[in-house]
Amino acid sequence: MSDLEIRVGLIGAGGNVRNRHIPGFQRVDGLEIVAVANRTVESGRSVADQFDIPRVYSSWRELLEDDDINAVCIGTWPYMHKTMTIAALESGKHVLTEARMANTAEEAKAMLEASRKHPDLVCQLTPTSTTYKIDKIIKRLVSEGFLGELLSVEVQALQNRFADFGGDLHWRHDRELSGYNMLNIGAAYESMMRWFGRGNNVMAMGKVHVPYRKNTRGDLVSVSIPDHIDILYELANNAQVHMRMSATTGHSTGNQIWFYGTEGTIYIDQQQNVFGGRHDENGLTAIDNPTELQAYYRVEEEFSNAIRGTEEITMVPFESGVHYIEWTEAVARSIQTGNRMTLPL
């Protein structure tokens, strides 16, 4: 099975599919992208011509009827992920689904349940993670006891931009297309789960600083997804995590993470340089993080290897996606109600 020919169909071919997935698939030996179905036949034809893809379908359902295809990459917005994933599995096709996993925890759980009904088929999510560079060194430092007992975490992800009043409506601002997803909170939690495990309860406050945006017709429409969020949640050992996410923080200091423990402190700066200090040391010093020891993006390779039975999915299985969507929905519900939410939902 290690030499199995993989024939991929693309359902949706937006920027991430064109810039990341297609080049990634093209680097895999014995894999061919054989078809594409985009929002229109014309846009699908444009992608097919650009990347030498032989077949263009007028709909994603038509693509799934092609028995020559044994794997699909779903690159649509989250609102269609559940429907397309379940249909693809029922068509006997392996599934790589774009992040974010789904609009709601209920949809994500349905996707996981469907995947378990087809154990012979591989299901994977595109990681939302932006922490490949530091993943391995953080896990190593934690496992070696650098921090001692973890006490608290501060995560700051501030986009260096001012509130764009009257700006364009992106799908990330549209609750129908994006569901409970907000900013990059799911990506941050995905990384935190790898380092410290899952949270058990969450409280949050959010603010919509830009309440109206222009749709494709130029009309102003209301926005209900927050563009500024503060989140507090607890880990299993009762350590407290504070996340601050914002798209309206012009001239901000950007991204940084602090881990505070009984024995040491770790700091990650905007460029993901790692600094640390033990309680008996005088401040923080740089910690070497050699490039050859860092993780890197290899989703299409991992997906293909899993189909061929030579590797297990670690970045990201559907189980992890359910956890980050469930946590994301808990954040949204806490913002809406003012209540603390207990996980799992």
Identify the H or E element spanning 178: helix 175-178
Q: How many domains is the chain partitioned into structurally? A: 2
Whether 331 maps to a domain, the answer reads: no
Asked if 78 and 173 sit in the same domain, the reply is no
Consecutive 10-residue runs of the chain (345 residues): their mean pLDDT? 89 95 97 97 97 97 97 97 98 97 98 98 92 96 98 97 94 94 95 96 97 94 96 97 97 95 98 96 97 94 97 95 98 98 95
Residue whose token pair is 């919509």: 208
Asked if 63 and 171 sit in the same domain, the reply is no
Whether 64 maps to a domain, the answer reads: yes
Asked if 274 and 307 sit in the same domain, the reply is no
User: Which DSSP category does 213 fall into?
Assistant: E
Range of the domain at 182: 132-296
Q: Strand, helix or coil at 275?
A: strand
Q: Are 247 and 228 in contact (CB under 8 A)?
A: yes
Whether 277 maps to a domain, the answer reads: yes
Q: Are 178 and 188 in contact (CB under 8 A)?
A: no
Q: Give the pLDDT of residue 1.
A: 64
- Express each pLDDT in 235-270 by its tens digit: 999 999 999 999 999 999 899 999 999 999 999 999
CATH code, 101: 3.40.50.720
Whether 335 maps to a domain, the answer reads: no
Asked if 69 and 173 sit in the same domain, the reply is no
Say if residue 118 is exposed, middle or buried (CB neighbours under 10 Å; 0-12, 13-18, 19+).
middle
Asked if 292 and 307 sit in the same domain, the reply is no
Q: Give the pLDDT of residue 130.
A: 86
Asked if 286 and 186 sit in the same domain, the reply is yes
Q: Give the pLDDT of residue 78.
A: 96
> What phi, psi does 54 have (nearest 5°)?
-70, -30
C-alpha angle 144-128-89 in degrees, rounded to nearest 5: 115
Whether 173 maps to a domain, the answer reads: yes
Whether 320 maps to a domain, the answer reads: no
Asked if 136 and 38 sit in the same domain, the reply is no
Asked if 38 and 118 sit in the same domain, the reply is yes
Asked if 204 and 263 sit in the same domain, the reply is yes
CATH code, 271: 3.30.360.10
Identify the H or E element spanning 31: strand 31-37
- Express each pLDDT in 170-203 by its tens digit: 999 999 999 999 999 999 999 999 999 999 999 9
What pTM value is reported for the model?
A: 0.94
CA distance 75 to 85: 11
Asked if 195 and 257 sit in the same domain, the reply is yes
> What b/e string do you get for 180-208 counting C-beta neighbours within 10 Å, with b at 16 or more?
bbbbbbbbbbbbbbbbbebbeebbbebee
Tokens of residue 341, six digits: 């939410």
Q: Give the pLDDT of residue 271.
A: 95
Asked if 289 and 305 sit in the same domain, the reply is no
Asked if 220 and 109 sit in the same domain, the reply is no
C-alpha angle 310-4-317 in degrees, rounded to nearest 5: 45
Whether 79 maps to a domain, the answer reads: yes
Q: Are 235 and 200 in contact (CB under 8 A)?
A: yes
Whether 73 maps to a domain, the answer reads: yes
**Cis amide bond preceding 344, omega within 30:** yes
CA distance 157 to 309: 37
List beta partners, residue 10: 36, 73
